[in-house]
Chain A
Amino acid sequence: MTKTDNPNWSPFGFETRMIHAGTPPEPVTGARQTPIFQNISYVFYDADHAASLYNLQTFGFLYSRLSNPTVAALEERIASLEAGRGATCCASGHAAQMLAFFAFMEPGDAFISSTRLYGGSITQFGKTFKKFDWHCHFVDFDEPENVRKALTPKCKAIFCESLANPGGVVTDLEAIAGIAEEAGVLLIVDNTMATPYLCRPFEWGAGLSIHSTTKFLSGNGTSLGGCVVDSGTFDWAKNDKFGGLTKPEPAYHGLTFYETFGDLAFTTHAHAVGLRDLGATMAPMNAFQTLLGIETLSLRIERHCQNAQKVAEFLDAHDLVDWVSYAGLKSSPYHALAKKYLSGGFGSVFTFGVKGGYQMGMKVVENCELCSHLANVGDTRTLILHPASTTHRQLTDEQALAAGAGPDVVRVSVGLETLDDITADLDQALKTAAEQTKKAAE
């Protein structure tokens, strides 16, 4: 979809929207920064007003599990950055995935997912979703035809990450969107690693996008959160796959969301049914922290990407490093896709393979003094992790390999510290780890 035929496109620039979208001055007090509405409930004018709110006949706040003014400001801001119709924030990225599928999946339904996912998503889709009788078929998206072959009559959606965690892999969104369109199924793109600054999935045909706002959007490693953004352009009534939105909703006295709310249907449903009944609500304080984070998103991502490019080049030339998987390297098989789908950089989370396998991978991470050994990405601090022994340890060896988390793999989320300090720390950690591994072998 081009800018001009997207009704949600704004004439204001990205940086203006990341500071202003969703947050005009608070009208009662004039407060210029968004207040933290740390309250549960909202007073009704009268019984008729209460009834209108409960029936979704008027806009307004009822109870903070469903919606809250501070959270709503963040929702509008993220929707604006991706030129979507609306957004639903929730407690975490995992909650966002749950909310997205909950709107239309029924027991027995299926979806197709890329094998290259955050390890926690592989477990959520492959194991936990099974308890709802939702079936995820994992395939390698590098060959889009694999996706077409995996389509079944029960398939309702296709899921992938634009820039995949743990590292360096870019999905051919346009090709995958074409397959989804032909099959009449929804394309859901997790845009966490790229952020709306580098990639706008709706421009390539995604129907929904997902974020763990915990990462680059909040930016400082302070606040858990998730978000589902609705493009507003997916026709839920194009076939009978999406009854959750096109058939009378029993949990709302037979209200039909798509007919009643049109392109507002998904986001209305995600609040009024999804958050109401799943309860995975974002806390207002977290929404506030994330709003603050987004105000500097473009500046941070530019520097994250610059630092990551240099760190990747440094590691690529390092004697103790076997390979580097970073889409910014010309040698990367994903470099061309990255140039097509990412604007302004190649992300800052990537993987590299150490010479010496599992033990060496663990030792490198343990010997870092500046880079923090922890499970997270998208912090101002440089973070480092050995996925095989941590985030991806619930997976089989085969799954871990397919996800890009083999025994020799180290993941790094390059932060905003002085570049030379980051490379010096990695250099000393690699050398110390090599010595320790050598000694242990003797």
Chain B
Amino acid sequence: MSDGLNYSDGHLRGILHAVRSIAMVGASPYWNRPSYFAMKYLQIKGYRVIPINPRAAGEEILGETCYAALAEAPGNIDMVDLFRDSEAAGAVMDEAIALKDAKGIRVVWMQLGIRNDEAAARGEAAGLTVVMDRCPKIEYGRLHAELSWGGFNSRIISSKRRRAQIL
């Protein structure tokens, strides 16, 4: 993460609170894959997560039907969460830009380890919010004091009492 990318806590919190539906590009049907962990967690937190993966198209992943491409996903997609490599991020970004108005896409979020500055610039020029090299699960957990339960450094210092959360 020592990459010069600097997203403020408020910015990330704003995205995670505004978004309700997420298309997860590269979602895996296998329980021990990182994308499966993230999808499961985001579902627990109340997000609708639609898996996108041509190799698993038609299969069910965590109760949701998997689609071959973004364009096939039903309904609105607030955010595209990218579980692909940095190179593939370019094509997915162009797809997201093309579908932006039809699907209501506002955010393209590239997972931890994924960064494509050219794609990000195209997305931002088209009016999309772009996050790179972060995991929405980790950031959600960090901003809601759950990451701290694992002994992690959340970097959050506050004397404010949080509202106790029910799941």
Contact = CB atoms under 8 A, between A and B. Distances in A.
A10, A58, A61 pick with most chain B CB within 10 angstroms? A58
Interface string A249-293: 000011110011111100110010000000000000000000000
Main secondary structure of the interface of A (DSSP, over half): loop
A25 interface: yes
Contact of B149 (A55, A72, A83): A72
A411 interface: no
B152 A267 contact: yes
B162 to A, nearest CB: 4
B17 interface: no
A241 to B, nearest CB: 20
A71 B145 CA distance: 15
A30 B161 contact: yes
B153 A79 contact: yes
A78 B160 CA distance: 21
Contacts of B113: 262
B138 to A, nearest CB: 7
A76 B160 contact: no
Interface residues of A, number: 59
Contacts, number: 126
Contacts of B44: 49, 52, 58
A136 B127 CA distance: 57
A233 interface: yes
Given A57-B40, A253-B32, A72 B150 contact: yes
A217 to B, nearest CB: 15
A260 B150 contact: no
Given A8-B155, A21-B157, A52 B40 contact: yes
5 contacts: A25-B162, A72-B148, A76-B148, A233-B2, A260-B32
Interface of A: 1, 5-8, 10, 12, 16-17, 20-22, 24-25, 27-28, 30, 45, 49, 52, 55-61, 67, 69, 71-73, 75-76, 79-80, 83-89, 232-233, 248, 253-256, 259-264, 267-268, 271
